[in-house]
Amino acid sequence: MNLADLGWSPFFEKHFLALEETALLPARVIEELKGFYRVRTVDAEFLAEIAGKIQHDAKQRDDFPAVGDWVAIVPREEEGRARIERVLPRKSKLARKAAGRALVEQIVATNLDTVFVVSSLNRELNAQRIERYLALIVESGARPVIVLNKADLCADPADLAASVERVARDAPIHLISARDKSGLAAILQYLVRGETAAFVGSSGVGKSTIINALLAGSREKEQRVQAVREGDDRGMHTTSSRQMFFLSTGGIVIDTPGMRELQLWDSEEGVAEVFDDLLTLAAECKFRDCNHRGEPDCAIEAAILAGTLQRERLESYRKLQAELRFQERKADVRVAREDKEKWKKVHKEMRNKGRP
Ligand code: GDP
Ligand code: ZN
């Protein structure tokens, strides 16, 4: 593996050479741990801490390393440790507001070339959600690509795709089926040597399945399968191999837990995941907006009659959905209130400062 395989380019080279410090090595951050970073050089992986100077000079989150960053390190080979002396300027930065507190930045990943927005082709497909992702990605400086997965479940994807086309602007749209491995070539064309990509989208849309399919045949497949089995439990201590994947095409895929939480409401993802079977069934209802309350050709009702789906399950799904909608409204109100409080305080401080 050489530097270009890790995503290095003339842009980073220029900034690195400008440091004019021969003792430093370029390395890429492949995982962020509590107080540490796992970084990778051409030859080795190191557990790295940040130099006191970075800590001291840092004014905001932005000044600290994040997954995807290129950093300049001083390695201590024997220990497998290193010190991060500098964070090189970023080509792109995917960030979101940290949950809960307004106005706190959370960097999801940096130096991404492409971000795939994945949705499944069923009635959960939500053009507004895609629009929101697109906004984040365009803002980041990466190229957005829309992936509509589970085409095998959708008899006539044209209608659904049309609703996405309306919000896509210049972003290309690809219909694929990760299960049937159809359409993957279209995804691979973005994953050329040295380019870094990430997949975002709600839980259950098929991100892991897509990444697995892309990895099929490459060396890291084994590790990936394991990562999928463990799920994306946030308390889990992941290892570097599960954060950055090197495809046999030379493309690099970053898959951090933060990526999966990009969506505003984590619990919504959880519900979708838990009720994946139900959502998959619902995709087969005749009407896309079927309420499963006596509509013709309702796959859910049919499954309940056939005894393959319990009515209680549908009812608890409805209950959770109602709760989510309620939370959503409350959270909107809370964020608005926090913003208002914050600005009230700022204005007050400004007024006080203005006094003689
Ligand atoms: P993630 O949460 O986005 O990583 O989604 P997963 O990759 O775990 O997929 C969620 C579920 O959807 C799993 O049961 C997959 O087998 C299924 N799935 C993924 N891709 C496809 C597809 O193209 N077609 C169908 N029918 N199911 C799929
Ligand atoms: Zn139905």
**Each residue's pLDDT expressed in tens, for the chain with a length of 356 residues:** 899 999 999 999 999 999 988 899 999 999 888 889 999 999 999 999 999 999 888 888 789 999 999 999 999 999 999 999 999 999 999 887 666 544 567 788 999 999 999 999 987 788 777 877 887 788 788 999 999 999 998 888 888 888 888 778 789 999 999 999 999 999 999 999 999 999 988 878 898 899 999 988 565 444 444 444 344 333 333 343 458 888 988 999 998 766 655 543 445 665 676 677 888 999 999 998 899 999 999 999 999 999 998 888 888 788 777 766 766 666 666 666 666 666 666 666 666 655 44
Residue in 177, 209, 215, 226 to alter for ligand 1 test, most ligand atoms within 8 A of Cβ: 209
Q: Give the rounded distance of the alpha carbon of 82 from its chain centre.
A: 27
Q: How far is the CA of 219 from the centre of ligand 2 (A)?
A: 42
Is residue 25 within a helix (H) or strand (E), and if so which, with residue range? strand 25-32
- Residues whose beta carbons lie less than 5 angstroms from ion ligand 2: 285, 290, 292, 298, 300
Q: What is the pLDDT of residue 202?
A: 81
Q: What is the pLDDT of residue 218?
A: 60
Q: How far apart are the first and last CA of the chain?
A: 63
pTM above 0.95, yes or no: no
Rounded Cα–Cα distance for residues 298 and 12 (Å): 55
Nearest CA to ligand 1 atom 26: 150
Q: How far is the CA of 157 from the centre of ligand 1 (A)?
A: 17
Rounded Cα–Cα distance for residues 219 and 333 (Å): 48
Cβ atoms of residues 144 and 115 within 8 Å: yes
Write out residues with Cβ below 6 Å of ligand 1: 149-150, 152-153, 177-179, 201, 203-209, 276
Q: What is the pLDDT of residue 193?
A: 94
Ligand nearest to the CA of 283: 2
**Alpha-carbon separation of residue 176 from 51, 181, 188 (angstroms):** 45, 8, 12
Q: What is the pLDDT of residue 318?
A: 86
Ligand nearest to the CA of 288: 2
Ligand 1: nearest atom to the Cα of 228? 8
Nearest CA to ligand 1 atom 11: 204
Ligand nearest to the CA of 202: 1
In 3-state terms, what secondary structure has residue 42?
A: coil
